[in-house]
Chains A and B, each alone.
Chain A
Amino acid sequence: MGTNIDISNPGLAIKSWVELYTDKMFTWAFYKTSHKEVAEDLVQDTFVVAYESIHKFEGKSDPQTWLFSILKNKIAAHYRRVYQQPIINESEYKSNNKDSLSIFFDEIGNWRKEQEPKDWKTDEGELLDDSAFVKVLGLCMGKLPANWEAAIKLKFLEEKKGEEICQELEITTTNFWQILHRAKLNLRKCLELNWFKK
């Protein structure tokens, strides 16, 4: 025995888990599916399943791990339904493939002349204080593909190191930081065009 949760009141246990883990689970599901409504439904379904099968939990592992394993199964089932094939992992990342980098770099891998980053002549203190800049940043982030934006948010929501995040969520580190790479290139470009070239 020696469980941490009170099985006689599973509703209370689940409610505390909803408070603790929804943000992380939603961000993760959104990252995997790129659709807000789908992500919300998957998270909700996960908690319903958790509630119904809470007797199986028994406090053996940490609740987050258990909830995420349910969520991952739900996401896999979602992909099977939608795409009629096993979980997409590598291929969905490949759709954000090398072609999107050829905008920035030539065949040898040098910056194209018109893409070369200019000196912004500023520091983050100045920029953070400027609410107009923050607004432009928000707009530029909104322009990114949904999973790129989510990748950036995942990176910064967790205080842990990148490797730990990837281990915990069972994704390849390489894929994840490649998405961050593309996102950063585009974000920087958007800001240079819309803010620093004035």
Chain B
Amino acid sequence: MLSCKKTTELIEKKSFVGLSYKEEIQLRLHTCICDSCTNYKKQSVILDNIVHHLIHSDNQKDLTMNNILKEKIIQSISKK
């Protein structure tokens, strides 16, 4: 049986690169009997979706910051 620590690793690995069949089974077996990891799994998915949504709508602000950098770069090249 997986430890909780290993289970949380697999939960993140799943959202990043996916799991092997064996890993998927191990994950489900553990979360079946572990409330804490079940909660962690739900919350990890929620956070992924929220952060994904925010980063894409937040791009306005990030774009402004990088716009200053882009201007600076273009200036320095124009001088050459």
Contact = CB atoms under 8 A, between A and B. Distances in A.
Interface string B29-63: 00000011101101110110111111110000011
Interface residues of A, number: 54
A14 B53 CA distance: 31
A163 B16 CA distance: 8
Interface residues of B, number: 41
Of B3, B12, B16, most buried by chain A (CB within 10 Å of CB) is B16
Q: Is the interface of B mostly helix, strand, loop or mixed?
A: helix
A110 B33 CA distance: 13
B25 interface: no
Q: Is the interface of A mostly helix, strand, loop or mixed?
A: helix
B55 A153 contact: yes
Interface of A: 11, 14-15, 18-19, 22-23, 26, 40, 43-44, 47-48, 51-52, 101, 104-105, 108-111, 116-120, 122-124, 127-128, 134, 137, 141, 152-153, 155-157, 161-163, 173, 176-178, 180-181, 184-185, 187-188, 191
Given A26-B66, A51-B77, 20 more contacts: A18-B77, A43-B69, A43-B73, A44-B69, A44-B76, A47-B73, A52-B80, A101-B5, A105-B5, A109-B4, A119-B39, A120-B43, A124-B46, A124-B50, A127-B46, A134-B54, A177-B13, A181-B9, A184-B47, A187-B47
